[in-house]
Amino acid sequence: MKKKTYIIGHRNPDTDSVVSAAAYARLKQAQGQENVFPARAGNIGYQTEYIFNRFKVPVPEYLPDLIPKASYYISEPPVTIAEDVTVWEALERMQKDGLRVIPIVDSQGIYKSMLHYRGFANYIITHINPHKKSYFPVSIDHLTATLRAQPITVFNSSEVKKSPIVVAGSYNDYFKKHLEEESPDDSLVILGDRWDLQKFCLERKVRALILSNGHTLDKELVALATKNHVSVITSPFDTSSTAMLIIYSAPVSAMGDDSVPLVHLNDPVRKIREPLSTAPSRCLPVGDDEGRVAGIIFEGDLIKEPNIEVIMVDHNEPNQAIEGIENYRILEVIDHHRLGNLSTKYPITFINKVVGATCTIIANLYRESHVPMDKEIASILLCGILSDTLSLHSATTTDTDRNTAEYLSSVTGLDIIQLGQELQTEANRINARPAEELVAMDMKEYAEQGVEFSVSQVETDRPDDLVTRKDEILGQLEKICSRKKWLFSALLVTDVTTLDSLLFVAGKKSFLAQINFPRKEDGIYVMKDVVSRKKQLIPLLSELVEKAKD
């Protein structure tokens, strides 16, 4: 598979995160980078859903995680072979293409078994045994193709049937006795130009008469073959070569190893390591949900770089990133938050600016690159800026945000004030959401001074609606805090009308005892003029964390 680059925001994504990913991917595509795709690391809220639906922009793909999967390590399109192809043709293909293995598939492309050289050796040892009778599953069509034979009379040519090989290499009486013991109507008889034995075989109605060295039948015997429904073909090879090639005339399905399992595209690497280590040639076929082969994964592939790369937007701290991101090359980071402890193996493009929204940065990257924006992209970028800056009223709002919003307004014809009100109407719908969803919607995790905590944020013009659900919300915060063993977990509820906030907090007593904010009710604090989580609230909480440790 070709390398794929995902542009993705933080876990529990807000509007700015999802819009930034979608718009930046469109910019990359406009610059000729085809395999760049927007993604999101969580469910979207009502407001985000409204924006994408209104402006008819596809919502970025949902990725539950980036834990290494089989699909991330297969590269070349798979070479497969149909189950009714002969062993000879399959081996020729393997030799020609330098393949160690080749998946065998049915007419629908569904995986059936794996052809590998060990399986071929086992087949030969099993079937060519002088101490017991051997039967080979072949059809007349397969024989004709493998031997490059000239058909004279052919009956039931596509029927695959197990047959013994009988060579007319002895005296007449002994050969006749031997043929009778082998069940003539199933037998494939190889002989030369001995007219009497040719006639005997035709009279005994053998399954097929194979004439070596290019010999043929006279008209009388052709008529007898036709009457008795005996297939007759002429091989250009001598008797020994003809006998050997018949073995290779079996359909490849007879030699396939069906003990080699098909792993699926989404199977995690940790699940397939053990079967890979014991599989023939240290490889396994990889298939989709319907069982169609998508590629082959070799044990050595797991030490190579996967075919996934990542661009992070609207975050730069690993603990806020999608699970598993540490397994991939990070190409770029575009963000407007504080710097975390991200480290990379290679130099990267890192853009971090003091603005109110990542969408502001993305919009200006279009302008700097001289790439015109589609109207729908300009529209969602404007929505992203207004959402993350509380319609340009947040303390984090800069002149760059205001100027960029005015530019996008002129491009789209959208009124900033009216659009902000419409977005807030959609955002207010969150009040009815379950506490579990409220807390998870825009949750960010932090690690400071050896402890961990989380702060979620929602915006509404009716914060008192959530105060009435205090027990439910604080209970959910406590549940998360206990499960994760965090110092505390908080939810910042911002009133977009007054530009004040309420802080719901649950956590360890050592931390709660340090909180000196004005108290509205138990577990709820009044945060006057606080609307920015990153610029106003986190510095205050960091001071409390330090005190709680002392």
- The kind and range of the H/E element at 495 are strand 488-495
Give the pLDDT of residue 215: 93
CATH topology classification for 140-240: 3.40.1390
Which has more pLDDT, 164 or 8? 8
First to last CA, the chain: 53
**Which residues are CB-contacts of 442 (< 8 A; sequence separation ≥ 6)?**
12, 13, 14, 45, 456, 457, 458
Give the pLDDT of residue 517: 94
**Which residues are CB-contacts of 215 (< 8 A; sequence separation ≥ 6)?**
192, 193, 234
Over residues 289-313, mean pLDDT: 92
Give the pLDDT of residue 117: 82
Over residues 46-50, mean pLDDT: 90
Encode pLDDT of 125-180 as tens digits. 666 665 566 778 899 999 999 999 999 999 999 998 888 888 886 667 778 887 87
Encode pLDDT of 356-391 as tens digits. 999 999 999 999 999 999 999 999 999 999 999 999
Give the pLDDT of residue 461: 80
Radius of gyration of the chain (CA): 36
Q: How far apart are CA 128 and CA 118, in angstroms?
A: 15
Residue 550 has pLDDT above 70, yes or no: no
Q: What is the mean pLDDT of the chain?
A: 90
**Which residues are CB-contacts of 254 (< 8 A; sequence separation ≥ 6)?**
87, 123, 137
CB atoms within 10 A of CB 30: 15
Amino acid occupying residue 421: Q
Give the pLDDT of residue 130: 56
Encode pLDDT of 171-210 as tens digits. 677 788 878 777 788 889 999 888 988 998 999 999 999 9
Cα 127 to the chain's mean position, in Å?
41
pLDDT cut 70: percent of the chain above it: 97
Closest CA to 467 of 524, 530, 427: 524
SS3 of residue 20 by DSSP: helix
SS3 of residue 208 by DSSP: strand
Over residues 238-254, mean pLDDT: 88
Give the pLDDT of residue 1: 65
SS3 of residue 71 by DSSP: helix
Give the pLDDT of residue 136: 82
Encode pLDDT of 140-151 as tens digits. 999 999 999 999
Give the pLDDT of residue 212: 93
**CA dihedral of 152, 158, 160, 166, whole degrees rounded to 10:** 0
CATH of 71-123+254-303, one of 3.40.1710.10, 1.10.10.10, 3.10.580.10, 1.10.20.60: 3.10.580.10
Q: How far apart are CA 77 and CA 286, in angstroms?
A: 11
Q: How far apart are CA 41 and CA 63, in angstroms?
A: 5
Relative to beta strand 208-211, strand 519-521 is unpaired
Assess whether the region 4-68+307-427 and the region 433-549 belong to the same CATH fold. Answer: no
Encode pLDDT of 479-492 as tens digits. 999 999 999 999 99
At the top level of CATH, the class of 433-549 is alpha beta
List C-alpha distances in Å: 279 to 12, 69, 75, 123, 298.
Answer: 40, 18, 19, 17, 10
Between the ranges 278-282, 291-295, 298-302, 358-362, where is the mean pLDDT highest?
Answer: 358-362
Q: How far apart are CA 300 and CA 286, in angstroms?
A: 15
Give the pLDDT of residue 176: 82
Q: How far apart are CA 43 and CA 48, in angstroms?
A: 10
Over residues 3-8, mean pLDDT: 95
Q: How far apart are CA 446 and CA 537, in angstroms?
A: 13
Residue 403 has pLDDT above 80, yes or no: yes
**Cut 0.75: pTM above it:** no
**CA dihedral of 297, 301, 304, 310, whole degrees rounded to 10:** 10
CATH 3.90.1640.10, domain 4-68+307-427, yes or no:
yes
Q: How far apart are CA 480 and CA 497, in angstroms?
A: 30
Q: CA geometry: angle at 174 spanning 199 and 243, to 5°?
A: 70
**DSSP assignment string, 222-242:** HHHHHHTT-EEEE-SS-HHHH
Of the listed ranges 22-26, 75-79, 283-287, the least confidently predicted one is 75-79
Relative to beta strand 524-527, strand 519-521 is antiparallel
Over residues 317-331, mean pLDDT: 93
Give the pLDDT of residue 70: 92
Q: How far apart are CA 369 and CA 361, in angstroms?
A: 12
Do residues 490 and 541 touch, judged by C-beta distance below 8 A?
A: yes
Residue 121 has pLDDT above 80, yes or no: no
Over residues 399-404, mean pLDDT: 97
Closest CA to 302 of 261, 269, 329: 269
Structure tokens at 309: 């790369």
Encode pLDDT of 81-118 as tens digits. 999 898 888 888 888 888 888 999 998 889 999 998 88
- The kind and range of the H/E element at 421 are helix 416-427
Q: CA geometry: angle at 120 spanning 117 and 121, to 5°?
A: 90
Residue 2 has pLDDT above 90, yes or no: no
* Band of pLDDT at residue 409, cut at 50, 70 and 90: very high
Over residues 312-329, mean pLDDT: 93
Which has more pLDDT, 13 or 550? 13
Relative to beta strand 500-507, strand 488-495 is antiparallel
Structure tokens at 346: 């290679």
Encode pLDDT of 425-473 as tens digits. 887 777 888 999 889 888 999 988 889 999 999 888 889 989 999 999 9
Each domain of the chain, given as residue ranges in start order, spans 4-68+307-427, 71-123+254-303, 140-240, 433-549
**Which residues are CB-contacts of 55 (< 8 A; sequence separation ≥ 6)?**
376, 379, 380, 383
Q: How far apart are CA 358 and CA 485, in angstroms?
A: 31
Which position has the token pair 């003029």?
529
